[in-house]
């Protein structure tokens, strides 16, 4: 399965900082009882296992989206917006 991350800037700098800010906000506000992340347990988790679909709506206002592109590679591995 191939997925694509699309964003509004350099994924190694601009988009990473936006993602980190949203993850920090999510951890600060949604890990309490009743929050979107409450009850999740584990040791070392990948971002997908830790945040699941909870983080995706928080990234969309920043122009960062993730899509499933099928079973075969499509396009280039990395490109900056034009």
Residue-wise pLDDT for 37-79, tens only, equals: 777 777 787 777 788 888 889 989 988 888 887 777 666 655 5
The reported pLDDT for the residue numbered 81 is: 58
Contact 2, 70 (CB under 8 A): yes
User: For residue 22, what are the CA distances in angstroms to 10, 28, 30, 77?
Assistant: 17, 10, 11, 25
Residue 39 lies in a domain: no
* Count of structural domains, the chain: 1
Residue 61 lies in a domain: yes
Tokens encoding 69 = 């592109």
Prediction pTM value? 0.69
H or E element, residue 4: strand 2-6
Residue 82 lies in a domain: no
Query: Structural domain of residue 61, as residue ranges?
Result: 2-30+49-70
Residue 64 lies in a domain: yes
Residue 37 lies in a domain: no
Residue 81 lies in a domain: no
Residue 6 lies in a domain: yes
Bridge partners of residue 5, in order along the sequence = 66
């Amino acid at each position: 399965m191939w997925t694509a991350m699309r964003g509004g800037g350099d994924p190694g700098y601009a988009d990473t900082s936006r993602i980190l800010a949203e993850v920090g906000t999510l951890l600060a506000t949604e890990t309490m009882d009743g929050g979107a992340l409450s009850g999740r347990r584990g040791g070392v988790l990948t971002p997908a296992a830790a945040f699941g679909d909870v983080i995706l709506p928080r990234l969309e206002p920043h122009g960062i989206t993730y899509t499933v592109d099928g079973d075969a590679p499509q396009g280039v591995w990395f490109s900056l917006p034009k």
